[in-house]
Structure 1
Amino acid sequence: MNVSVDDRGSVLVAHVTGELDTYTVSDAKRVFDGLRATEGSEVVVDLREVTFLDSSGLGALIGLYHRVSDAGGHLQLVCAGVTLRLMELMNLGQVLDISTELGEASASGGAALA
């Protein structure tokens, strides 16, 4: 598992690749905890290259959602393949902003990523 962060000014994008599971979640949490979460901040987590996501990885994403939301920011997850199927199966789109393209604007009016 690897997480790289791309600071695009008004938007932070964390690109996650590989397996996000109980063995790698502590590294992901460390990166997520370092993401700026302030009033009006936009944080995007790109999960399109994640090959496996278990409950501990999902817990880290939900924890990030709460931290960003509590700070007055907005979190968007970009999903495909296994991550998109999991989000759909768990109906997480009712709570989380989930898209399939990095360039889509968030449903809550966040900035589009180019």
Structure 2
Amino acid sequence: MNITVDVNELNTEFIVKLKGEIDAYTAPKLRESLFPISERENVKIIIDLSEVSYMDSTGLGVFVGAFKSVRANNGEFTLVGLSERLRRLFDITGLADIIDIKSGTEGGLE
């Protein structure tokens, strides 16, 4: 399966809507889309995972890297729309304690 990355920019806020599966095959495409944005100063990134059906540890690694880059540049990084399965993945790994995760698609998404 592939991944679709749709990036919408409004000033310093980026809404990134993902669709598909995030794994070793699709993670490079996600990384190419996220990392240039994550290196901007004071950026706010909201990532909508409501249409992500599967994610493995490679996907987690991409999000951790982007999160660290955003934080290093005084930005905000938020995940929204996680399925129960994805939420559990972030909880089990402890990432839910450091990454801002909102329920539903709140946080600027319609």
TM-score by length of 1: 0.83
Cα RMSD after superposing both structures: 1.7
SS at match of 1:34: helix
Which deviations, in whole Å up to 9, do the C-alpha atoms of 1:56-87 show, x marking residues without a partner?
Answer: 11000000001101111110011223221211
Cα distance 1:51–1:33, how it changes in 2: closer, same or farther (>3 A)? same
2:65 is matched with: 63
Query: Deviation per CA, 1:11-47, whole angstroms, max 9, x where unpaired?
Result: 1011111100001111111001231543432111111
Pairs aligned (count): 107
CA distance in 2, matches of 1:102, 1:8: 17
Structure with higher helix content: 2
Q: 4+ residue stretches of structure 1 with deviation over 3 A?
A: 36-39
Give 1:113 shift.
4.8
Unaligned 5+ residue runs, structure 2?
none
Q: 1:24 to 1:80 in 2, by over 3 A?
A: same
Deviates more, 1:89-98 or 1:32-41: 32-41
From 74, 98, 103, the equivalent of 2:101 is 98
8 A Cα contact 2:38 2:66, kept in partner: no
1:82 to 85, 94, 100: 85
* Structure 2 residue matching 1:15: 3-state secondary structure: strand
Where structure 1 has 5 or more consecutive residues not aligned to the other structure, the ranges are: 105-111
Residue identity (%): 26
**2:46 equivalent to 1:44:** yes
